[in-house]
Amino acid sequence: MSQELSAEQIQDALQGISVPPQPQIMVDLQFEQYMPDPDLEVIAKLISQDPGLSGALLKLVNSPYYGLSNKIASIQRAVNLLGSRSIINLINAQSIKGEMSDDTIVTLNRFWDTAQDVAMTCLTLAKRIGSQAVDEAYALGLFHDCGVPLMLKRFPDYMGVLEDAYANASTDQRVVDTENQKFNTNHAVVGYYTAKSWRLPEHLSNAIANHHNALAVFNDDSARNSQLKNLLAILKMAEHICASYRVLGNQSVDHEWNTVGHLVLDYVGLSEYDFENLKQTIRELGSH
């Protein structure tokens, strides 16, 4: 059903919040699109490694132009629905979103690396523990920190504050509390609004909003929020396995996992021993 969208329609649909795409992925995509016969599978794989491009893609496919009855989170499905011409228009629209300085690129590499790593690990974990929502787990891994580049754009000292936030994380201090004290907002809130502007499914946006609120979510042992808990459990395990606390937080100890880890493992029914084995297996698989 792939209907072609013009460059103007794409520009129109992509108005609003945008996370800069990774320069290297843009180069690879430009290269692929100039091939005599661009391979949609290769293009989908490249796009799915980048939060900014994937967000733009899902925003487009979930827009009124396509009239889908339910919002989708699958990047592969979105690529198939859009078709190659619209995808190439989308890539070109994103490539003119503004150049970044070398310093910004170096800083954002920390964000891009964890996003890709955590997304792949979420996918592996979702398959391992028999989750139904494999595409959504991947999307959450890719998008959970999409507020970070926007915070960095707005507050030049943001990465230093984020490092403090990871250092201060404890039972009574969430990562986002440090950001709130300094900026009156935080990357989870900004990420939530970004996800909404990308027209992601509502429960995915909620998981992004709550990804540093896991203690409260898992302390509530009622039957409510099972969809949120399922997604957050996978994300929290993946963040720990990929050592986001080290890459983004510049810490040697995962304070947040030490606070919520036992509740997460209890929820998914894994012992510490099982989880250690799973962590080793995933790291050896090269997800990290």
**17-64 tens-digit pLDDT:** 778 899 999 989 988 888 888 888 999 999 999 999 999 999 999 988
Per-residue pLDDT, 3: 63
List the structure tokens of 92. Answer: 């070109």
Kindly write down the DSSP assignment for every residue of 50-71, as one continuous string. -HHHHHHHHHHHTSTTT--SS-
Q: Which CATH superfamily is domain 102-285 in?
A: Hypothetical protein af1432 (1.10.3210.10)
Per-residue pLDDT, 90: 85
Query: pLDDT tens-digit profile of 81-140?
Result: 988 888 888 888 777 655 678 888 889 999 999 999 999 999 999 999 888 889 999 999
Query: pLDDT tens-digit profile of 192-205?
Result: 999 999 999 999 99
Please provide residue 173's backbone torsions phi and psi, each rounded to the nearest 5 degrees: -140, 110
Tell me how far CA of residue 19 lies from CA of 141, 143, 246, 267, in angstroms. Answer: 15, 10, 22, 33
What's the whole-number mean pLDDT along residues 199-215? 95
Q: Which residue do the tokens 């890709």 mark?
A: 116
Per-residue pLDDT, 38: 84
Contact predicate 208/146, CB 8 Å = yes
Per-residue pLDDT, 194: 93
Delimit the domains of the chain by residue range.
Answer: 7-95, 102-285
The residue type found at 262 is H
